[in-house]
């Protein structure tokens, strides 16, 4: 691609964003999706899957911190963590920042995403790929969750694409039922639920599905500039409602014990608690108990 050409995101048919490309780094059609990695003028290196922004070097920390630190610190004693998707390695990195985590299993269906992230976005995962606590599997997350032993994980983090194409099967009743089965008695699962201003159906429908298997269903928000449309929601489903009610000072203590306090660019104990206080336009899409 010539220098200084534009790439348009194709998530929405009638609204979007574009990036001025400094240099194209890779364009691959895998067995699952079209993958593009390029260096932008404004946001560092960027990865697109099927024309949709997945990650940029400039603001990836917001999403990664919130999808990883919130469930682990709300739980407080999570030792074994399952990550579905997240092929760029950023979630794995944040999970392994918790020195209290003993094992992190990451299952990514598309090995090309991992390969390209390692080659062109090495700073996203850092040393996480070689951490002895990490087990990285190229495979189907649905099958892994279906076959895993009961109560084998304390937390599950689902960092998938939207519920279309390769990501669709990660938003089903069966999937959430199996998540509940393999989680311990205080287990929690989080997953991205889109930008409600544009994707309200995604939050509403997946929340109803989670509610069939979990006692406590909610969502929390993070402001990620390149996920255009306002707040990104992260779906929350836990077996124990008290996980969302941990006082801020206890969250701070847990973060210090885990080794993540004062290491973040977005997450703080106060933001952790505040992120669950949803604007009405988002909260109305959650099931009422």
Q: In 3-state terms, what secondary structure has residue 119?
A: helix
Q: In 3-state terms, what secondary structure has residue 121?
A: coil
- Quote the longest CA-to-CA distance of the chain: 55
How many separate helices (H) and strands (E) can be counted in the chain? 10, 12
Q: For domain 5-56, say whether CATH 2.20.28.10 is its number.
A: no
Rounded Cα gap, residues 283 and 289, in angstroms: 13
pTM confidence score: 0.95
Give the rounded distance of the alpha carbon of 56 from its chain centre: 14
Sequence ranges of the domains in the chain: 5-56, 60-283
Of 59, 154, 159, 162, which residue is the catalytic one? 159
Helix ranges, the chain (H): 60-75, 90-96, 111-120, 122-125, 141-147, 173-182, 196-211, 248-258, 269-274, 280-283
Does the annotation mark 262 as catalytic?
Answer: no
Question: Looking at the domain covering 60-283, what would its CATH class be?
Answer: alpha beta
User: Which pLDDT tens digits describe the chain residue by residue (289 residues)?
Assistant: 456 799 999 999 999 999 999 999 999 999 999 999 999 999 999 999 999 999 999 999 999 999 999 999 999 999 999 999 999 999 999 999 999 999 999 999 999 999 999 999 999 999 999 999 999 999 999 999 999 999 999 999 999 865 444 445 556 889 999 999 999 999 999 999 999 999 999 999 999 999 999 999 999 999 999 999 999 999 999 999 999 999 999 999 999 999 999 999 999 999 999 999 999 999 999 987 6
């Amino acid at each position: 691609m010539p220098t200084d050409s534009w790439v348009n995101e194709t998530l929405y048919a009638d609204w979007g964003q574009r990036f001025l490309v400094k240099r194209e780094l890779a364009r691959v059609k895998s067995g699952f999706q079209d993958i593009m990695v390029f260096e932008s003028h404004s946001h560092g290196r960027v990865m697109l899957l099927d024309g949709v922004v997945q990650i940029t070097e400039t603001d990836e920390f917001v999403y990664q911190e919130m999808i990883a630190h919130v469930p682990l610190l709300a739980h407080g004693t999570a030792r074994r963590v399952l990550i579905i998707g997240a092929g760029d390695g950023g979630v794995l990195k944040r999970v392994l920042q918790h020195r209290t985590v003993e094992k992190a299993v990451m299952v990514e269906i598309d090995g090309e995403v991992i390969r390209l992230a390692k080659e062109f976005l090495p700073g996203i995962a850092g040393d996480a790929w070689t951490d002895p606590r990490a087990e990285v599997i190229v495979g189907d997350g649905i099958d892994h969750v279906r076959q895993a032993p009961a109560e084998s994980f304390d937390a599950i983090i689902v960092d998938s694409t939207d519920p279309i194409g390769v990501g669709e099967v990660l938003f089903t009743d069966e999937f959430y039922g199996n998540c509940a089965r393999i989680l311990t008695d205080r287990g929690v699962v989080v997953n991205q639920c889109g930008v409600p201003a544009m994707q309200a159906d995604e939050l509403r429908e997946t929340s109803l599905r989670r509610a069939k298997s979990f006692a406590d269903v909610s969502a929390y928000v993070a402001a990620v500039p390149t996920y255009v449309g306002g707040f990104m929601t992260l779906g929350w489903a836990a077996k124990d409602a008290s996980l969302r009610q941990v006082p801020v000072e206890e969250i701070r203590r847990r973060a210090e014990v885990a080794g993540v306090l004062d290491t973040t660019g977005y997450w703080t104990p106060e933001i952790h608690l505040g992120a669950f206080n949803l604007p009405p336009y988002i909260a109305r899409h959650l099931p009422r108990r």
